[in-house]
Amino acid sequence: MSAQFRVGLVGEGISESLTPAMHLREAAERGITYEYHVFDLAPDSREAADLGAYLRDLRDAGYAAVNVTHPFKQRVIHSLDSLSEAARTIDAVNLVLLGERLSGHNTDWSGFEWAIATGLPDAAFGLVAQVGAGGAGSATAYALLRHGAAEVVMFDADAARARRVAERYAPLFPDRRIRAEPLDALPRVLADADGVVHATPVGMAKHPGTAFDVGLLAPDAWLAEIVYRPIDTDLVRAARARGLRVLDGSRMAVGQAVDSFRLITGIEPDAERMGEHMLELIASG
């Protein structure tokens, strides 16, 4: 008899997420009975007001885990019984295992580290700029430092948020340098950067545009995007037009799904197969 799992995705405006389809296909390939349901919650809903009670209700209904996305990655923390070391460090959760105790995990950081390791295998990580310091941005900054970036400069429209990320990680990586700068310093830093990570919602279908001008980057710089719907954001297209090395957002999406699937099922998924499936899903619209 195959293993059976009931899983959910909790967030706002997530009806078009590709995560459920990736999990379901890989489960079928592995011979696992798997259900994946989407719970699209308004931030001011009754369920969102008491996430702990909502998650316990899902557990009692037979759910083994839920992935968590915007805008609940940080809000959910106060409803959990325990956090993995990474989730505690990053201060954001994108996976909750619904056992007797509710345990929070973060696979955004490991998914992004896998993305840059496999998608930018020989890129320089001396000075990296990052635009965006929210829940996803905190995870990507952690991944950059774990990957070996010598210096990371954080930018965010909320300057205090960028400072909090830098101050959180500085003691953990004493041999590196991480700092926050005001947005008006972005042109200067981009000119000297080996690469830049974009970690804001700008570029999503509901938030068109670009967060900065890729023309500020050096000709041999790289750009990593975390937005994957659409996969070719305005920023990605502009960077490719300049001839820059580009890592689109699909690879991080695959990486976090791979790691979540492993934690939920205890079974090692096929990352390459999940990546191919992701591209199929994007191509099919």
Question: For the chain, how big is the Rg over CA atoms in Å?
Answer: 18
Q: How far apart are CA 263 and CA 260, in angstroms?
A: 5
DSSP state of 70: T
Question: What distance in Å separates the CA atoms of residue 107 and residue 94, rounded to the nearest whole number?
Answer: 7
Active site residue 206: no
| Phi, psi angle pair for 153, to nearest 5° | -115, 120
Could you count the other beta carbons within 10 Å of the beta carbon of residue 31?
10
Selecting among 25, 73, 251, 277, the annotated active-site residue is 73
Q: Give per-residue burial for 199-234: e unless 16+ CB within 10 Å, then b.
A: bbebbbeeeeebbbebebbeeebbbbbbbbbbbbbb
- Contact at 8 Å (CB) between 106 and 80? no
**Residue linked to tokens 């900054």:** 141
Could you tell me if 49 and 61 are in contact, meaning their C-beta atoms sit under 8 angstroms apart?
no
Residues labelled catalytic: 73
